[in-house]
Structure 1
C-alpha cells in the first residue's frame, strides 16, 4: 500500500491547529452574546438527519445559502465543495461534466455513463445532457463524496449530487423574481402553490426563463457565442389523505436554445496561416452552423405509506426523455471543414421500492430498483469537399458517419442498516447486488454526402464499405458493500470509519472502428473502487464552530478511459475505451464554519487529492508514469465571509464575499497539452436586502470579479485535418446581476 503523501499527513494537524486557534480567540468574541450555527438537515442516507449525524463526507447547500451566494446553476457548487468538479462540458451549454475525488466521466457521448450520479428528487438522471441544472425553487442541494454503491447504486462510484426541489406547504404562496445583468442578462422566475383541498391536496408550479447575450462572437457570421437561452418549468401535486399516506406527482421540462458554442484555437492553423486567432477567447473563427437545442423532460410519482410506527413503504416511479441537436467545429477556422453536427436521443424509466424501518437501536432501509433505458445518436465528421481522390468527383462533403444506440436494463436489491451498540457506538452495514445488461448497435462509415449524412438530414452521394457495423450484448453483475462504525465522543463530536465499494458497468464504444481495432466489438469491462475513509464531525464552542474532516484512500480498478485520435489525415476517428489498469487515490477534506459574531460567519473548505495511475498497459508496456487524472486538481479550497445585519425597521442586509481556488488541472489523462489549465482563483461577492415586511428582496451579485480567464475543457488533436488542433473552452468572465423578488 502506498504511503500517504505529505499533505495528507498534515491534514489532521491542520484540523487540530484550526480547533486550537478557535479555542483561543473565540471566547473573546463570543463572550458577550449567545449565538449558534443553524442545524443542517440532509437525506444522504435516504432519511432526514442532521448533517452532523451522517458518517459520510457530504456538503449541503440550503435554499437560503444558494440565494445568498447568487448560485445560478449547480456548476457554481464546485467553488465550495472540496475535491469536486462540476463543469459545463466542452463545446456545450448545458451538458454536465462531474468528477468527485478523481472519479467521473468526461465524455458525454451516448452509451457512456457518468461516474457521479445526478439525482433530482431521488430520480437518477442517466444522461449528462441538460445536467447543468438551473437553481430555482429548490429546497437544497447535497454533494456526497465517495462511492455510494449501497443506497444509490447505479453509477455513483465517485459520488452523488442530490437536487431536492421545494416541497409544498399547503399554504397559498406566490413568488416573482426578475434579474438583469452583464451581457444583456434578463431573467424571470415565477413560482407558487395553492391548496385544492385544505390539509389534503395542493398544487405548485415554477417556471424560469433565462436569456443572455453572448460573451463573444462568431466572427465569420456575426452570431453570438456563449449566449444563453433556456426555458424550464416544474409542476407538482401533493396529496395527503391521512397521516399515514403521502402521494406526490411531479413533472419538469427544460429547453435550451442557446447557440452552439465555438472554441478558441491554442495552435495556429497550418492550412490558413494568415488567419489570426482572436485575442478574446470568447470570439471564434469557427464557421459552423450555430443551431443547437437540448430538450429534457420527465415525470415521477412518489408514494409513502406508514405501515406502522416502525415501518414505512416508499415507491418512486419515474420516466425521462431527452433530445439534443448540436454542432461542433473541431478546427475552429473559417474553412468549411471538420464540422461535427450531432443528434442524441434518450429515454429512461425506473422503479424503486423502499422499506424503511426504525426500531429501538436500529434504523435502516431495504429495497429493489429497476432501470431501463435507451440512448442513441449520430454524428458526422465533415472534412470538406469530396474531390474525387477516393472515387468519382461529386459535389458535397467527404464525411465519416458514426451512429448507434445502446439499450440498458439494470436490476438491483439493497439493504443498509445502522445498529446502536451503545449510547455512543453505532455500526453500519449495507450491501447492494446489481446486474446490468446492455445491447449495443454501432455503425461507422466513410461517405460522400450532400451537406450532411442522411441520419442528420442530408443526402448520401457515395459511400465506402462500413468500418464498423455490429450488434452485440453483454451483462455484468457486482455485489458492493458498505461497512462502518461511528463513535460519539461528546454530544457534539463524532468520529467515524468506513469501507465502501462502487461499481460502474462496462459497455461498448460508440466510436469504435472495427476495421482498425477489431476488439472494439467485444466492448469494455466494468470499473470498481474500494474506499477506506475516516472522519470527524464536530460542533465546538457551544455550537459556534462546526468542524468536519475526512481522510480517504481508494483502490480504483479497471478505470474506463476514452482514447481517440485522428486517422487518414482527419475524417476518420479511431477510438478505444481502455480499462486502464489500476490507480490509487488518496486525500483529505476539511470543512469549517465559524459564527464569529452575531452578524458575521466565516466558511472555509480545503480538499487535497493525490491520484496516480499504477498501471496502464498500452502496446504491452506500462505507461502509467506518463498519465495523470483528468479534471482532478490536487488542491481545491474556498474562503467565504457572510455578514448578516438586522436594520430594524429598514429590514435586514446579508453581504458576502468569497475566494475559490482550484489547482492545476489536466484535461486528458493520457497526455499533457496546451488545453490544460493552470491554477486559478475566482472572487465573488453578493449583497442582499430583505424588506421588513418580508415581501421584497433585492440582490446584487458579482461573479469572477477579477475577470479571471480560465479554461474548463477542450479538445486536443495532434493530427486532425493534417494539422495539430488544440481547442479551449472557457468559464464565464466577470458578470454582475441585479435581482428583485416579490413574495406573498
Structure 2
C-alpha cells in the first residue's frame, strides 16, 4: 500500500467526512470491484489512485467529493478501537447518539433527531435508517447485533429520502460487510479481557466454481461477565452473550451481472438491562407518599446509595434475549449506460424480555414485559447512470411491509397499594387491592410503505453542479391494542383505584397518507481538493399510531380515542459544507453547518397520570436543531497521525405547550378550573400539562468531540504502535421535559492501545475508559412520582489483549 493510500485510508477511517461530489467515470458494480480488490477485502474500498470509495449516493464515488455530510469508518479501525456495535460506534462519531434501556427500547439519533426520547412505541417510524448491505432494518432493536466481518460503516447526516428506499428525515447508518472473494483468504481474531470478556471472530472466503461463484462465511462470539451485581439473587447482570453467523454466495452470472445471496443469524442472551439508585428529588406528591417515607414504611434501604458501586437488589426476573436473522438477494446488472440494482430481503426479530420496572427490591411492579415478534419483507429496485460526468441520475422504487405481534403483561405486587395509591384513598394501605392486579396486553401492528424516488446530478458549468431530488411516498399503518385487567381472583370488575393503575382498554387505530418531499443541492469544486455545497430539503416523517395504551378521558370512564394517531412531522432542512485537503492530502479539514426545523414533532407525553409506566405519542408544535461540525485529520508522516472532530448542536422545543411535566411538577392532585399549582417540589396541586417551549431537547449535548491519533516505529521486523482515542460530550437532559434531577453531567472517555504488527499479524493490548470515568448513559424516574431517580451506569474500565491474523 502506498503512502498516499495509507494516508487517505486513515483519514477516512478516523474522521467524519463531509464532501462535494464528482462521480467516478465508468464505475463497475460495487460487488465486482470489492471482490477483485485486495484492499477492499481489507475493509477499505479503495481506487487505484488511493481514494476511499463510498456508496452513500447509491453509486461508487470518492468520499471527499460527495455533497453530503457523511462519516466513513473502515472495519479495521472499528476493530482496533473495540467498537463492535452501534452503541460503541457513537464514541467515534460526535453527531451520532445511541440510547438503550434494553435492546427493544433503543434509539439511534443523528444531530439529536430520529426517535422520541423514552420507551419504544412500535407504531411510529424511526428517523434514522439502518441498512446492512443495502437492506433496511425496520426496528432499532434489531440493529444491536455485534458487527460481523464489516468492511466499512457510513453515517449520513440529514434527510436521505431521495436516495434511500425508506424515508429517513435525520440520516442513515449504512453498513457494508466484506463480500466474497475469488482469491482464498481467511481471518481470525481473538480477544480476552477484564470481566472474562472473550470475543472470537473468524471468516473464510474463496471460489466455489472457478471465477464464477465465490462464498464467504463469517462468525462472531462474544461473552462477558456482568458489571452490576444483584445482591438479592447473587447474579451478575449486564453480562454479554452473543453469537452471530453470516454467509454470502456471489454468483458472477455474466460479465456484467453479479448476484449475491446472503443470510445471517444472531442470538443475544444478556442478563440486562437494569437501572440502579441514582438520587432522590422532591415531587408534588404528599410527603408520606414520596420515596423517603415509602422506603421507611417498608424498612427498605437500597444496597448502595452510590450508583457506581454497581449493585442492585431487584426481585423480579431479568432478561433481554433476542434473535435476529434474515436473507437477501442483491443483483447488480450493468447494461452499459446504467446499472440496475435490485435488493430483495426478508428479516425477522424475536424479542423475549423480563424486567423489574419498579427498580427496587420491593414487590411493587413484579412483572412488566413486552415480548415481540417482528417480520419484514422489502423490495427495492434502482437504476443509476454510468459514465457521463455531466448528467447523472439515480431513480428507484421501494416496497416495505412489516408485522409486529406483542404479548405484554404487567403484574402488581403486595407493595403496590402503598407505593402507588394516594393517601386520600381508603385502599392506600391495603395490600390486597393491587396485589396480583394483572394487565394482559395483546398488540398487533401492520405497516406497508411504498415509494418512488430519484435524484439528478447535472454539471451546468465546469465544477458547478445542481442535484435536485424528489420522493413520492405512501405509508399505511393499522394495529390493535387490547388490555384485559384482572384482579388476583381473576375478576374483571375493578374499583376506581385499580382502574387508575391498570385500565382495561381496546382500540384499533389506523393511519394512511401520501406525501411528496424533495431536496436540492448546489455544489462547486473550487479546486481538486476544495469543495463546497449548499442543500435545502423538505422532508416528512410518516405519521403513526399509538400502540402503548391510551390515556383515560376527562371523566375517567374510558380511553381518549382522539389521540390514537399522530400526524406526520414536516421537516425543513438547510445545510452548508466545505471540504478541504492540503499538504498533498495529508491534512483534511471539513466543515458543515445545519439548521433544521420540524413542525408537528412526534414526542412522548403522559396526560398527568402518575402510575403509568409508558406514555403515549403526541405532536409537539415545533422543534429547531441547528449547529456546526468539523472534521480534521493530519498525517505528517507514515509514523504518526492525529484527528480531532467535533459538533456544536443547539436543539430546543420552539413550541410545546402541552408537554408532560418534569418530576418536580408532578404527583399532586390536578390543578383544575384554573387553580394555581404548587411551587416545584412542593406537595400540593400539579399542572395537567407544562409549557416547555424554549427548553432543550433530551439526549443532546451542546458540545461533543472525538480526538486521538497513533504513532509507530519499526521494531523487530514489524511495527510497534501506540494509539489513543478520546471522546467528550457536555451535559444533556435525560427526560422528555427537562428536570434538574435528570440532567446527566458531561464526561470524557479515554481508550489506549499498544501493539505490534507485521504483515497479516497484529497483537495489541488495550484499555477502555482508562481513567475509570463514572458516568450515566441515561437516567429515569420511577413511576408514581415518588421522586426516585435511577440510572444506567456506563461501562467501567476494561482492559485486555487482542490477536488477529489474516491468511
2:605 is equivalent to residue 563 of structure 1: yes
Are the equivalent residues in 2 in contact too, given 1:615–1:622 (CA < 8 A)? no
2:377 is equivalent to residue 349 of structure 1: yes
Are the equivalent residues in 1 in contact too, given 2:276–2:790 (CA < 8 A)? yes
2:301 is equivalent to residue 275 of structure 1: yes
Separation in 1 of the partners of 2:694 and 2:326?
43
Q: 1:150 to 1:699 in 2, by over 3 A?
A: same
Tell me how far 1:153 sits from its aligned partner. 5.1
Separation in 2 of the partners of 1:133 and 1:395?
39
Are the equivalent residues in 2 in contact too, given 1:69–1:656 (CA < 8 A)? no
What's the CA shift string for 1:641-690, capped at 9, x where partnerless?
1224343x521233211221101111123232433211111111122322
What's the CA shift string for 1:39-77, capped at 9, x where partnerless?
322111111111111001111101222223222222222
Aligned residues: 690
Partner of 2:622: 582
Separation in 1 of the partners of 2:80 and 2:622?
42
1:548 is matched with which residue: 590, 599, 607? 590
Separation in 1 of the partners of 2:165 and 2:327?
21
Separation in 2 of the partners of 1:155 and 1:650?
51
2:517 is equivalent to residue 480 of structure 1: yes
2:342 is equivalent to residue 315 of structure 1: yes
Q: 1:112 to 1:701 in 2, by over 3 A?
A: farther
SS at match of 1:292: strand
Matches within 5 A, 1:689-704: 689-691=756-758, 694-704=759-769
What's the CA shift string for 1:552-594, capped at 9, x where partnerless?
1111111100123774x63x55733121011221110000011
Partner of 2:474: 435
Are the equivalent residues in 2 in contact too, given 1:70–1:686 (CA < 8 A)? no
Deviates more, 1:188-197 or 1:382-391: 382-391
Tell me how far 1:285 sits from its aligned partner. 1.7
Separation in 1 of the partners of 2:236 and 2:607?
30
Deviates more, 1:606-615 or 1:37-46: 37-46
Are the equivalent residues in 2 in contact too, given 1:114–1:155 (CA < 8 A)? no
Tell me how far 1:320 sits from its aligned partner. 0.7
Q: 1:657 to 1:37 in 2, by over 3 A?
A: farther
Partner of 1:111: 123
Are the equivalent residues in 2 in contact too, given 1:185–1:211 (CA < 8 A)? yes
2:334 is matched with which residue: 306, 309, 312? 306
Are the equivalent residues in 1 in contact too, given 2:448–2:477 (CA < 8 A)? yes
Are the equivalent residues in 2 in contact too, given 1:383–1:399 (CA < 8 A)? yes
What's the CA shift string for 1:155-206, capped at 9, x where partnerless?
5211111111111221112222211101111121121112111111011111
2:463 is equivalent to residue 399 of structure 1: no
Tell me how far 1:94 sits from its aligned partner. 7.6
Matches within 5 A, 1:195-210: 195-210=207-222
2:310 is equivalent to residue 290 of structure 1: no
Q: Structure 1: which 5+ residue stretches go unaligned?
A: 1-35, 451-459
2:791 is equivalent to residue 728 of structure 1: yes
Partner of 1:17: none
Tell me how far 1:369 sits from its aligned partner. 0.2
SS at match of 1:67: helix
Separation in 2 of the partners of 1:392 and 1:591?
59
Separation in 2 of the partners of 1:621 and 1:345?
35
Are the equivalent residues in 2 in contact too, given 1:641–1:658 (CA < 8 A)? yes
Partner of 1:593: 633
SS at match of 2:724: strand
Q: Structure 2: which 5+ residue stretches go unaligned?
A: 1-47, 281-290, 418-425, 554-558, 660-687
Partner of 1:637: 705
2:566 is equivalent to residue 524 of structure 1: yes
Deviates more, 1:544-553 or 1:503-512: 503-512
Deviates more, 1:505-514 or 1:523-532: 505-514
SS at match of 1:46: coil
Partner of 2:539: 502
Deviates more, 1:48-57 or 1:111-120: 111-120
Q: 1:562 to 1:687 in 2, by over 3 A?
A: same
1:408 is matched with which residue: 434, 444, 447? 447
2:412 is matched with which residue: 383, 389, 397? 383
SS at match of 2:77: helix
Partner of 2:695: 627
Matches within 5 A, 1:644-683: 644-647=712-715, 650-683=717-750
Are the equivalent residues in 1 in contact too, given 2:652–2:694 (CA < 8 A)? no
1:97 is matched with which residue: 94, 107, 116? 107
Tell me how far 1:514 sits from its aligned partner. 5.3
Q: 1:444 to 1:267 in 2, by over 3 A?
A: farther
Tell me how far 1:622 sits from its aligned partner. 7.9
Separation in 2 of the partners of 1:574 and 1:201?
51
Are the equivalent residues in 2 in contact too, given 1:504–1:526 (CA < 8 A)? yes
Partner of 1:14: none
Give TM-score scaled by structure 1 length.
0.88
Separation in 2 of the partners of 1:54 and 1:238?
28
Separation in 1 of the partners of 2:493 and 2:788?
27
What's the CA shift string for 1:301-351, capped at 9, x where partnerless?
00111112x111110000111111112222222212223122111111000
SS at match of 2:195: helix
Separation in 2 of the partners of 1:418 and 1:532?
19
What's the CA shift string for 1:691-733, capped at 9, x where partnerless?
3xx342212221111111111123224625xx23322112211
Partner of 1:422: 461
SS at match of 1:583: strand
Are the equivalent residues in 2 in contact too, given 1:110–1:405 (CA < 8 A)? no
1:616 is matched with which residue: 649, 656, 678? 656
Separation in 2 of the partners of 1:143 and 1:379?
34
Separation in 1 of the partners of 2:548 and 2:138?
19
Q: 1:122 to 1:673 in 2, by over 3 A?
A: farther
Separation in 1 of the partners of 2:223 and 2:607?
36
Tell me how far 1:261 sits from its aligned partner. 1.9
Q: 1:366 to 1:228 in 2, by over 3 A?
A: same
1:39 is matched with which residue: 35, 47, 51? 51
RMSD: 2.5
Are the equivalent residues in 2 in contact too, given 1:566–1:573 (CA < 8 A)? no
Matches within 5 A, 1:177-192: 177-192=189-204
